Chain A
């Protein structure tokens, strides 16, 4: 019973979504999706985040209690969590309040900093990828050089054909490989969905 009822809910939900794809009728488009699904999805999300907050708090509390390595950092979690919550609950989340100020002046720059690191990591990854250790890697290196050179004015200076070759690499072999992967992904998605709908795949219920 513990698994049968959730399984039935999932199967019914799956069939409903399948119908949603093939039935454009207003009953499905407005009645089911806009008036039923969306409000429920929105209403459920805040309850789920409580679980998340509780889990994170438990983890950091345990860390502090056990004096796990670098346990002092856990205080920053609580400090940040409480400060942000207070700022939001007391001052509101609109522009001009402390909450939005913290978001714009702390969270966003920190996120941007992390994102900017990507450039260096990409350079490092590119170095690894372009080492011509095998025939395949050499092809990769050559293709990458052509594509990269074609993106800059120097490339056109070297040869007027470089942009054409680059575009061909992107449009033909690259796109063919991408589409091949996407075809597999698409079929795999449908297979996974069918497995779930037919009750073959049950790992999401917790367990096999």
Chain B
């Protein structure tokens, strides 16, 4: 760039003037107003003491607030941005108060955090508000004294970037895994009893920060849980068994246990008065069963055998417990039923999803489910109804034909049967003449397919008149083989290889027959942060467990700051002993641990031998350690691991064993009416009675793309054949394309008029085939332009395309012996903003008075804007695109248009090179094959032969 000094100064001055003007224009004249009022911070009830609820009175809609920003800190003079609550400025916030629940692990420090402490924007001096907590290890260490910190480390960084770090505490010889900020996201959770300070700032739609609300403080405390939302009981008289199901309250994460009591001698109203008083209620209680609740994730049902029966007016209550206390539910009387009322026992199987990368499974408990979703009357007389239906099935379940039998209400014989051999989710039926269709219909659905036939499996629904929808709609009921199942849910549970407890995954309605389970590959490793280490003034500081330690930095020790986490990871599960083995990610430390365990075992054993009386606690410790030490010599994975020499190989082997194990699960399906009538499926075990653990398989070939692969091979073979024929000198006929034949005339016109040409490649990038095709055309156009010495301007939309086009045009000038006429500045980058590009190209067209315009490439809405302008300036226009929506605009406004594939053929057409022409011929012959398949497929489908249609890919 050779701008003169004077011009450069002028430009800079102009830029500063513009920036200053804009800065003044965007300045906040209204800041210092609209303070959020009545800010309150209160403890979240019934939680485990890690949450506060922040509430405030929202500003009026007229203030056009777009978000409320919440700031939190452990000192009133330093509050960090925590989260923003967005508000629609057009409607404002409807309620009197806005609530923000600040609980659990939330953002602490991540890659988006500022590098250093930064005051919030538009704040007055002395404001306590700061942006996010900065990436400052010392500050993080200090804050860790008021928060529980959790590190989420990217998987490969965890194993490859972990630094072995020791604490500044000389008494602590543990080697920690240390991570720098760039390798982890830190999350923080509040601690019970600590005081936190809050302020809230409203931001309006012009991004003006209003004044902060006065700082308010609050402390979270752990509370007893809420009572259960509902308890349902069923007495099964024939099996002498009580069955219970319950619903957890909204806040359930901290509920650890449940206990069900039989409550006698008190009525429901009186119970409400005494249930919260331990002294008063204890007289009425008789515990009958208890179990773990696992934060509401474990099964919320249980069966209690009562061989002696229960009193006639027995009532029950469920007590939910956490570390702080417990809460009793209202009384529930059981329904008196017998086991015939139980739902059918579910059977299920688990299968791998085909053609995926190995992160999905299907849990399947039923044949495909088909049901009518809605109907639409197609004419005024309501004589024809369009019926929409839904088919729920897995990728592997094959349904050949569906049969819908429609029967008038009150009759048994169907008036029509629809056979859906091509399941397009809708069909049309004719309403019988003289029948008032508002009376409704009964629909019986059957199917033929793999493992299912019309006799053994039927689904029935009723279509009833819906006044609000003014049409026939399906009722809520669904009969499966004559049994009404609409209230039945299929609940899927699973457990990992190391856990005996099943955790609920999803409640499914009776309209679902399977559950897609996502089993992702581990992408991060999460660990609670034990402490922080950083170096300051040549000293190593460590903040851990609320203590601060300092010592001189030793030679060779890293000066970086680290978040310290435990380097222990679960390694393998030994099914025989039921032991989960963990290893250190640092190989040398792991080997040290093995040796230490062996030594400790020997020491403990000698202690037991010397002891006068048996110590059961010590014995248990020895037993556990002995099992573990034994595994060092017997477990195959451990033996293999202990043979490894290098650190890299060590971590690689650990991940190879632990990650697949973490993705193995055993599943269970429970059918329930959600009111106490539930049946568990048989456990999913193998022939030896051991649980089957399923994991998804990563597929090497997508079988659903088999036909596509064959098509590619056939097409490739055609291309090779015709290229070979062309090479041997066979003359290949290509039909004339008017737009391409006119290129010579168009260039000639520009030459005669002495005006330039414009070549526009559209807004596609290098990955667009249209852009690549355009490149082969510009080669020919540039040669002609160079030959005739006509200026060709090429404004580029994509900066990656620019250097390639420059090179193509330069080569074209060289190839016709006119390197002197090549001007690099005629091919330039404009912008990748769509309409800015249009404005610039239109400006160029008008200023330069173009004689010829080429629009060849991928275009969108900008196409018409450019070609109409080109038309106005009187240029000859040749356009071509593969964008179907823009072709009509080009046809209307341009002189010649290349439609779709003609654009791709242009390069070969202009070049006349045999090899390129060969591909064009191959394309034509392949089209013949496609047309043949279309015709044959249409005929076969009309004859209800779906084989061809089914083998062809649908997308």
Contact = CB atoms under 8 A, between A and B. Distances in A.
A71 B865 CA distance: 24
B719 A191 contact: yes
A24 B704 CA distance: 11
Q: Among B2, B358, B701, B772, find the residue whose CB has the most chain A CB atoms closer than 10 A.
A: B772
A200 B727 CA distance: 12
A13 to B, nearest CB: 11
B900 A188 contact: yes
Nearest to A186: B901
B357 A26 contact: yes
B565 interface: no
Contacts of B803: 51
Given A194-B715, A206-B804, A121 B864 contact: yes
B699 A24 contact: yes
A136 B391 CA distance: 44
Contacts of B827: 55
B122 A65 contact: no
A114 B835 contact: yes
Contacts of B911: 208
A21 B701 CA distance: 9
Contacts of A40: none
A117 B359 CA distance: 48
B815 A201 contact: no
Q: Among A51, A118, A187, A195, find the residue whose CB has the most chain B CB atoms closer than 10 A.
A: A195
Chain B interface SS verdict (over half): helix
Contacts of B358: 25-26
B529 to A, nearest CB: 26
B174 interface: no
Contact of B719 (A110, A115, A194): A194
A101 interface: yes
A59 B207 contact: no
Interface stretch (B32-40, B404-412, B598-606, B886-894): B886-894
A114 B837 CA distance: 10
Interface string B875-919: 000000010100111011100000111011101000100011001
B702 A23 contact: yes
Nearest to B837: A114
B834 A111 contact: yes
B716 interface: yes
B207 A95 contact: yes
Interface residues of B, number: 106
Contacts of B730: none
B379 to A, nearest CB: 10
Interface string A124-136: 1110110000000
* Interface size classification for chain A: 35 or more
Contacts of A198: 719, 723
Interface in B744-783: 766, 769, 772-773, 775-776, 778-779
A187 B772 CA distance: 15
B828 A69 contact: no
Contacts of A205: 807
Given A30-B521, A204-B804, A115 B861 contact: yes
A73 to B, nearest CB: 8
B298 to A, nearest CB: 31
Given A61-B1, A75-B14, A101-B26, A192 B868 contact: no
Interface of B: 1-3, 7, 10-12, 14-16, 18-19, 22-23, 25-26, 121-122, 203, 207-209, 355-359, 521, 698-702, 705, 708-709, 712, 715-716, 719, 723, 766, 769, 772-773, 775-776, 778-779, 796, 799-800, 802-804, 806-808, 810-812, 815, 824-825, 827-830, 833-836, 838-839, 843, 847-848, 861, 864-865, 868, 882, 884, 887-889, 891-893, 899-901, 903-905, 907, 911, 915-916, 919-920, 922-923, 926-927, 930
29 contacts: A23-B702, A26-B358, A29-B357, A51-B799, A55-B799, A55-B827, A61-B3, A65-B3, A75-B10, A78-B14, A79-B15, A83-B22, A96-B121, A96-B208, A97-B207, A98-B22, A98-B26, A110-B835, A111-B835, A122-B889, A129-B891, A181-B901, A187-B715, A187-B923, A195-B916, A200-B723, A203-B776, A207-B808, A207-B811
Interface of A: 18, 21-30, 45, 48-49, 51-53, 55-59, 61-62, 64-65, 69-70, 73, 75, 78-83, 86-87, 95-98, 100-102, 105, 107, 110-115, 117-118, 121-122, 124-126, 128-129, 178, 181-185, 187-196, 198, 200-201, 203-208
Given A22-B701, A96-B122, 14 more contacts: A24-B699, A28-B357, A58-B1, A58-B825, A65-B2, A79-B14, A96-B209, A101-B22, A183-B927, A184-B901, A192-B769, A203-B772, A203-B808, A206-B811
